[in-house]
Amino acid sequence: MSSNSTVCPPPFLLKSDFPELGGATNSRLCVPFLQAPGMPICCLPCPKQNFFYPDRFQKIVHATVFVDLASVICCGFLLLSFAVLPIEYTQRHYLSVCLALAIFFMQLSFIIPIGAQSSQCYDRITPHDMYSSITCALSGAALLGGGWCTVMWTFLRAFSLHLQICWQIVPGRRFFLAAQAFGWSIPVALLAITLSITGVSFRFGESCHINSHMGLQTFWAPLLTVAAASIVLQAITFGYCVQVYLRSLFEEKGASQVTGGSGLPYSNSIRTVTARQAFRRIQRVVALQWRGILIVIMILADNVYFATVFLAFDGTTKKTQQNIALGFKWANCMAVNGGDKYACLDIAKTIVIEERNALAVLFLLSFNGILALLLLGRPTIYRGWYELIRNLFKRPKKEFVSYDARRLSEPGSSSYEMLDKRTDPMVSRPESKAGNGILKHPVPPPLQSSTVLEYNPATFSAKLRERAEAEGKGYSPYTRPPYSLRTPSLTSPFSSFKETQDYFASRTLHPASKRGDESVSTPPYSPYQDSPINSSDPSRRIQSPYGTPDQDIGVAK
């Protein structure tokens, strides 16, 4: 290594001093300064990006780490809210939860190198790859796997929205199971293929990215295919919405036209009603899912931009005649200027991607977690956390129970104190005095005002039966006449309402027995037979417990 200063100009190092023992040896940037066989080859020190960009670039790259940290915190907070808070605060859905989880995995790729605090270089000219650094392997796998999961769940969200709007199909359990199967298995399978064939290494920024070898075939082409399918589905869905909206506008005049005098609408007006109903349904779906639609559009746009920038970056590393010529031109500039990179930045811009594009990619990748919280989260999440924390530190209130409180099923006098407000005011509860106190006898539930008063055998018939037994008369209850299909007779055992008379009960049910007239036979007593006596003695009337003393009780004849 002592001959490095005489063989390789600064800042280059002699390649032979660093044997290929590990790391991403294909990522070395080495050039022969003398075009002669057997001459030494000089390589640029690691990391290479420090010589192609100004010093502020590396400071900005380090600043993106704090954005990544904030993004991971926001995404983790969103996932924790989905898991802890009730659904009325989060309005969670498995498509939103899985998309947020995929973004969280992708954001972890930028945090893993911070915790590891490992160098990006295997030696002075060789960067680490996934075989030489576990940090590189984890960060690269999280980035590629999280990116694949994000694109897949974005496609599933776009497909679900397309089914609901265009085909009026609400995804159910089958769609849920298929989404879980394809949303996780396909990214895992393609990630395994990508890592085994292409691999990852420290190429750009603080985390590992996919290598250029077979990167287009194993990663970028399948990823862009799924992203393109999502874009097509989203475009078809929006095209259908615009078509329905325009049809409802242009056919509005036809909806008011009717046929001549019939009052029936034309066929185009019927189609207008259908178009309006479809447009209202689309409005409801879009109003509920506009956040998901917006994040799908933004993630798809980011993925397309990432793919464009990284594919352009891979193009600068290929060994083409143009790249080799530009590389020699820049190396000679560095050798002539003694390793002053600022003197050769104009040439370096033609070799690598532009500084603004590189920083835009890093910041957009770091901002996805914050974007997920803003669009997938709802303002009610914060109120839900407030209620949860307040309930944790809030003492439970002691419930006040009255000493006299009893269940309605318990017997006792208190069971009859709580009367319904619809209780009939004419019904009173009998009271009996015992000693100095008043005993309240339990009575049946009071009659409601909406209940029709019916014939009560416990009161009216019982009194009549007692009178009949006291007079020695037999009690003959009413018997229903036998049914017959012939025409009934004109006589009826019942008299009309106008012919009914007040019934006056007396000791002798027939007046002939009182006068001693034996010629008049006393008919057998029946509660349904009126007495012919028209007495006006109010003391001989039977009093109903539900009526006033002045009321007469009329019975059928």
Whether 209 is in a domain gets the answer yes
Last residue of a domain, one of 342, 371, 391: 391
Residue 507 has pLDDT above 60, yes or no: no
Nearest alpha-carbon partner for 126 in 23, 210, 202: 23
**Model pLDDT, residue 401:** 54
- The burial of 369, by beta-carbon neighbours within 10 Å (0-12 exposed, 13-18 middle, 19 or more buried), is given as buried
pLDDT in tens, 249-271: 776 655 555 444 444 444 444 44
Q: What is the pLDDT of residue 198?
A: 94
45 belongs to a structural domain: no
Task: Let me know if residue 523 belongs to a domain.
Answer: yes
Whether residue 112 lies inside any domain: the answer is yes
User: Rounded distance, CA 171 to CA 179, Å?
Assistant: 10
Q: What is the pLDDT of residues 79-112, one digit of tens each?
A: 999 999 999 999 999 999 999 999 999 999 999 8
Buried b (16+ CB within 10 A) or exposed e, 55-83: eeeeeebeebbebbbbbbebbbebbebbe
pLDDT the model gives residue 478: 57
**pLDDT given at position 546:** 47
33 band by pLDDT with thresholds 50, 70 and 90: confident
370 within domain boundaries = yes
Residues spanned by the domain of 539: 457-471+493-557
Contacts of 146 (CB under 8 A, 6+ apart): 102, 103, 104, 105, 106, 107, 108, 109
DSSP structure string for 309-336: HHHHHHHHHS--HHHHHHHHHHHHHHHH
**The last residue of a domain, from among 373, 391, 409:** 391
Mean pLDDT of 435-443: 49
CATH number of the domain that 158 lies in?
Answer: 1.20.1070.10
The tokens describing 300, both together, are: 């798809």
**Residue-level pLDDT at 432:** 45
Residue that is last in its domain, among 342, 363, 391: 391
% of the chain residues with pLDDT over 70: 64
Asked if the structure places residue 407 within a domain, the reply is no
Whether 452 shows a pLDDT value over 80: the answer reads: no
Nearest CA to 303 out of 147, 496, 486 is that of: 147
Q: What is the pLDDT of residue 477?
A: 56
Asked whether residue 416 carries a pLDDT value surpassing 80, the answer given is no
My answer on whether 377 and 498 are in the same domain is no
CB within 8 Å of 65: residues ≥ 6 apart: 110, 111, 114, 206
What is the C-alpha separation between 95 and 292, in angstroms, rounded? 9
On whether residue 14 sits in a domain, the answer given is no
- Say yes or no to pLDDT of 474 above 60: no
At 284-339, the pLDDT tens digits run 888 878 888 899 899 999 999 999 999 998 888 888 888 888 988 999 899 889 88
pLDDT tens-digit series, residues 384-404: 999 999 998 887 666 555 555
Question: Does a structural domain hold residue 506?
Answer: yes
Question: Do 135 and 276 share a domain, yes or no?
Answer: yes
Number of domains in the chain: 2
Asked if residue 508 and residue 372 are part of one domain, the reply reads: no
pLDDT, residue 316, reads 86
